């Protein structure tokens, strides 16, 4: 009995007109502009999620309103949310704040 193994992959193309396309030229891409408000919304969601604060479904309106604020306000807010914190070392999600009364 004679068995043959099917050819699964060949390093040489079977057809002479089969070749890899060159990588795309970034200058030839279509212009795609994202609204700054959308960029601020995405960044805020990313910062909150990275900090372990997963936005609830009801938080969408609040995040949309915060994203409508000017760039300088957004920059300050992002700086406050990430200040003094090594995002990679966050081990537990921050979901609640505990206030201690000194007295």
Instruction: Dump pLDDT digits (tens) for 2-47.
Output: 566 555 555 555 666 777 888 888 888 878 788 999 999 999 999 9
pLDDT of residue 56: 87
* Confidence category of residue 57, pLDDT binned at 50, 70, 90: confident
Q: How far apart are CA 74 and CA 46, in angstroms?
A: 13
* Confidence category of residue 62, pLDDT binned at 50, 70, 90: very high
pTM of the model: 0.52
Structure-block tokens of residue 43: 């960044």
Average pLDDT, the chain: 76
Q: How many CB atoms lie within 10 A of CB 20?
A: 6
Identify the weakest region by mean pLDDT among 19-23, 29-33, 54-58, 97-101.
97-101
């Amino acid at each position: 009995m004679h068995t043959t193994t099917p050819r699964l992959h060949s390093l040489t193309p079977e057809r002479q007109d089969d070749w890899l396309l060159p990588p795309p030229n970034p200058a030839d891409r279509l212009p795609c502009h994202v609204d700054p408000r959308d960029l601020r919304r995405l960044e805020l969601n990313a910062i909150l999620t990275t900090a372990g604060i997963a936005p609830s479904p009801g938080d969408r309106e609040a995040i949309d309103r915060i994203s409508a604020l000017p760039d300088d306000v957004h920059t300050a807010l992002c700086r406050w949310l990430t200040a003094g914190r090594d995002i990679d070392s966050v081990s537990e999600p921050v979901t609640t704040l505990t206030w201690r009364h000194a007295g």
